[in-house]
Amino acid sequence: MTLVTHVLSIPLEPRDARGATKLRASLDAMCAEDATLGVEVGPVNEIILKGISESQLEWVVGHLQRQPDLSFKVGLPEVQYRETITRAVDWTYTHKQPDPSQYAVLRLQLVPLARGCGIETEIRCPSDEIPEHIPLPEFQRAIDAGVHAACRTGIVDGFPLTDLQVIVLDAGWTDSDSTAEAFEIAARLGLREALPRARPWLLEPMMVVVTLTPEEFLSDVIADFGHRRGKMQGLAMHGSIASVTALVPFANLAGYENDLRALTQRRGAATMAFDHYGEVPPRLEGEDSQPLAMRV
């Protein structure tokens, strides 16, 4: 089964809990028919609608707004960025809590991974350094839970973390105060403390865009891709029709279909699909020590 990558989200805010229930039921029915849609619960009665393109979410919102029994506000769309780390870090964290008494020490190594690898954890410390009273599978589950909890919200701009490995190199414990819960907390807080030292960076969804255009508008279409930070991937001619393939940051594709119609006198057409997450470039050339939107 192919996992769907949602690159755009829109918050929908019904008037009250009853309205949220009705809206959620309608969205669940639409998601059952279209596997590329996603729904997430937001704050209070807010519902987050996720999708794979701007036109898709515009159509869904328009369809919902035409239903007389649904009433909701539509928020601003948000591109679904990700965050990652760009250098390895070795960090030791001690969790001590007096009431209830808890104690756990973890030496963690954070390692950047290739794009698309997700989150990985590994226990690499000798078996005699793992608490004897905590079975290894339970210890592993605690580390996994703490790491994944820490990765739900990044520190650059609050987006989920991806493409990093967390290795447990050493562990400290006591018989009385070191529990699986204590190690889960140590993994979560230790990772959060180490992240700023691992040169966190923002990742943006990159889309493959295939555009068909009459040859007379080809230069304008290619120039437009350049303005959108697009990189040409291919060009083919089919008689008088050109097929242009480009890799473009999704954040720069807002309104693309309407702009393409204007560029080609309504004779152009395009399709797009998610390709991968790539690093957002620095604001200025040479600013390689600080990522875009870095707020730590």
CA angle 274, 43, 60 (to 5 degrees): 45
Spatial separation of the C-alpha atoms in residues 201 and 85, rounded to whole Å: 6
Indicate whether 1 pLDDT > 90.
no
Encode pLDDT of 212-256 as tens digits.
999 999 999 999 999 999 999 999 999 999 999 999 999 999 999
Which are the contacts of 23, defined by CB distance < 8 A and separation ≥ 6? 12, 14, 47, 64, 70, 72
**Within the chain, which residue ranges are assigned CATH 3.30.230.10?**
83-198
Class of domain 204-279: alpha beta
Q: What is the pTM of this model?
A: 0.86
Which are the contacts of 241, defined by CB distance < 8 A and separation ≥ 6? 212, 213, 214, 215
Encode pLDDT of 175-212 as tens digits.
999 999 999 999 999 999 999 999 999 999 999 999 99
Encode pLDDT of 31-89 as tens digits.
999 999 999 998 888 999 999 999 999 999 999 999 999 999 999 999 999 999 999 99
- Is residue 8 a contact partner of residue 79, using CB atoms and an 8 Å limit? yes
**Within the chain, which residue ranges are assigned CATH 3.30.70.240?**
204-279
Domain 8-80 architecture: 2-Layer Sandwich (3.30)
State which fold the 83-198 domain adopts: Ribosomal Protein S5; domain 2 (3.30.230)
Q: In 3D, which of 110, 123, 286 has the Cα closest to residue 196?
A: 110
Mean pLDDT, all residues of the chain = 92
Q: In 3D, which of 178, 172, 149, 162 has the Cα closest to residue 110?
A: 162
